[in-house]
Amino acid sequence: MDSSRTAVMAVGVNLIAVWVVAAAGGRATPQVPPHAAARLTQEQAVDEARGTLRAATARLKAHRRQPPDLRSVARDPFQFGARRPDARAAAPAGPAAGAAGTSRPPALEPAAPEIVLQGLAEDHAGGTVVRTAILSAGGDLVLATLGMPVGSRYRVVAIGADHVELEDAAGGPRLTLWLR
């Protein structure tokens, strides 16, 4: 044999040996002494899970105590680019708004306010049907049941399967809103 062939064979055998050792060494896991491994008993696991559940329950209860302020929503997701008018800019600045010496009675709301019936919901509680009207009143979303006020002037007096009747507190006619 030639010396160059012998050198190539020696290098090849050495490479194969290194590869085998590296492959075998990569699979071996270091031995951990039994006293170093922390063992979790079943009681400890249950106590830990119980603590986590109690913390999550406390967070949920705290969240439920503070309902979201739906009046702060200033946009209608179904109308692109529409802006809600600022109530502070449209309101007069109290009694100084009129001319000095003239006393005008406060203006009443229009007879047909911007109240729209958005939907109806039913709940069958104990054999009775409890209906809830979903109304849009002046830019606010109102979930109203019988007897609840809507806006500053109206009160819900009847909720049907496809309509809601509102009574005017100022003595005006009843307002019937139909579901579209």
Q: Which among 178, 168, 163 is positioned nearest to 109, based on CA atoms?
A: 168
Condensed to tens digits (0 to 9), the pLDDT of residues 13-48 reads 888 888 888 877 765 555 655 554 566 788 888 888
Q: pTM score, two decimals?
A: 0.38
pLDDT over 70 at 2, yes or no: yes
Token pair of 11, please?
């290098």
Condensed to tens digits (0 to 9), the pLDDT of residues 129-157 reads 889 999 988 888 889 999 999 888 899 99
- Domains, the chain, ordered by start: 112-178 (2.30.30.830)
**Residue in the structure block whose two tokens are 């040996």:** 17
**Letter string b/e over residues 99-120, b meaning 16 or more CB atoms within 10 A of that residue's CB:** eeeeeeeeeeeeeebebebeeb
pLDDT over 90 at 111, yes or no: no
pLDDT for the residue 143: 92
Q: How far apart are CA 142 and CA 151, in angstroms?
A: 9
Q: How far apart are CA 161 and CA 120, in angstroms?
A: 8
Token pair of 33, please?
């002494």
